[in-house]
Amino acid sequence: MTDITSETDVRGNVADVRTIACIGAGTIGAGWAAYYLAKGYHVRVWDPAPDAAPKVRQLIDAAWPALTLLGLHPDASPGNFTVHTDIAEAVAGVGFVQESAPEVLELKQNLLADIDAATADGVVIASSTSGYSMTDMATRAANPSRLVVGHPFNPPYLIPLVEVVGGEATSTAAVQWAADFYEYIGKSVIKMDREVPGFIANRLQEALWREALHMIDNGEATVEQIDRSITDGPGLRWPIHGPMTTFHLAGGQGGMRHMLEHFGPSLKSPWTRLEAPELTDDLREAVIAGVDAAEERSVNDLIIERDAAIIAVRNVIDEIKGRRA
């Protein structure tokens, strides 16, 4: 990242933002739009699809009950958004831009260049990319110093984590502004020290996913067994303590030192296969069939269940941490 900190590089205080542009109206983009609306902002959504408006409306309506339970800003309104097919119109006068287009590198490069060209100087532009580096995505932008990654987790209106990192041409001021803004609107921000392929959380999530695919491919576990091994096992600990603290506690009074001394040799055991298995037709169908067999409810029903569970877990954790503080 470049050390650019002048006022002309990043403009405005995070508290002064009133309007946000959400570029891309897929699951992530519309989820961001719902979250920003709940925080009292006016949102301009850009998407070239002819059915973008009803799809955005549908997701916002579906997300609003959960957002209401989490708490709405006094100015929050689910109808305070407009949908545009012209980028210049969508970003005119906004205080922040959140890009959430499909994960296609050339598309991201061209779109970020177009957004940069149309957006007023000093406005930070963040990408929701789940894997690309900003160094790679910013290659065609005239002013890459204000382009940052603001990587959320799905659904962004419920999961608080956002990973923020700049590219080689991103200014330190832009990264700090983005991190400050996300924290201001209630997100849990990891401001990364450097670019890492897949970022932090996705890397960890991907390792678990790959191991699960290997176990299915080798007939070692079913989809239902894999899911329950997490929901009824380590998943119960992770909402309050991450994997590092969990292993620290596994060492008892000796903590991480004792854990490493006692369990360290198991790292040499052939327990995991970090390389991804070949996604053959047989493996693909086995995974799909396994999900179908384990879960008969509709996607909408599962989303309602997921949202309610996340809210309950978050509320309990906030209560525990509040008592601890």
Q: Is the dihedral of CA 85, 124, 77, 160 positive or negative?
A: positive
Strands (DSSP E) found in the chain = 19-23, 42-46, 81-84, 96-99, 125-127, 147-152, 161-166, 188-191
Q: Is 184 exposed, middle or buried (0-12, 13-18, 19+ CB in 10 A)?
A: middle
Q: Do the beta carbons of residue 199 and residue 163 sit within 8 Å?
A: yes
Residue 239's pLDDT band (cuts 50, 70, 90): confident
Q: What is the pLDDT of residue 222?
A: 94
Cα-only R_g, the chain: 21
Q: Is residue 96 a contact partner of residue 181, using CB atoms and an 8 Å limit?
A: yes
Q: With 60 as the cut, is the pLDDT of residue 119 above it?
A: yes
Q: CA 178 to CA 292: how far, in whole Å?
A: 40
Give the chain's mean pLDDT.
89
170 contacts 1 by C-beta, under 8 angstroms: yes
H-helix or E-strand spanning residue 21: strand 19-23
* Three-state DSSP class for residue 171: strand
Q: Check residue 254 and give its pLDDT.
A: 77
Q: How confident is the model at residue 7 (pLDDT cuts 50, 70, 90)?
A: very low
38-71: pLDDT as tens digits: 999 999 999 999 999 999 999 999 999 999 999 9
Query: Is residue 155 reached through a cis peptide bond, with omega within 30 degrees of 0 on the bond before it?
Result: yes
pLDDT score recorded for residue 83: 97
Q: At 28, is the pLDDT very low, low, confident or very high (cuts 50, 70, 90)?
A: very high
pLDDT for the residue numbered 8: 43
Strands 161-166 and 96-99, by their bridges, are unpaired
- Mean pLDDT of all residues in 194-219: 92
Q: What local confidence, expressed as pLDDT, does residue 321 receive? A: 78
Confidence of residue 319 (pLDDT cuts 50, 70, 90): confident
Residue 5 is predicted with a pLDDT of 41
pLDDT of 234 > 70? The answer is yes
Q: pLDDT exceeding 70 applies to what percent of the chain?
A: 90
Least confident of 107-111, 236-240, 282-286: 282-286
Averaged over 8-24, what is the pLDDT?
A: 89
pLDDT at 270: 64
DSSP H helix total and E strand total for the chain:
12, 8
- pLDDT tens-digit profile of 243-263? 878 878 777 787 777 767 776
pLDDT in tens, 164-179: 999 999 999 999 999 9
Q: Could you say which DSSP state residue 133 is in?
A: -
Tokens of 273: 């296969």
The pLDDT assigned to 105 comes to 96
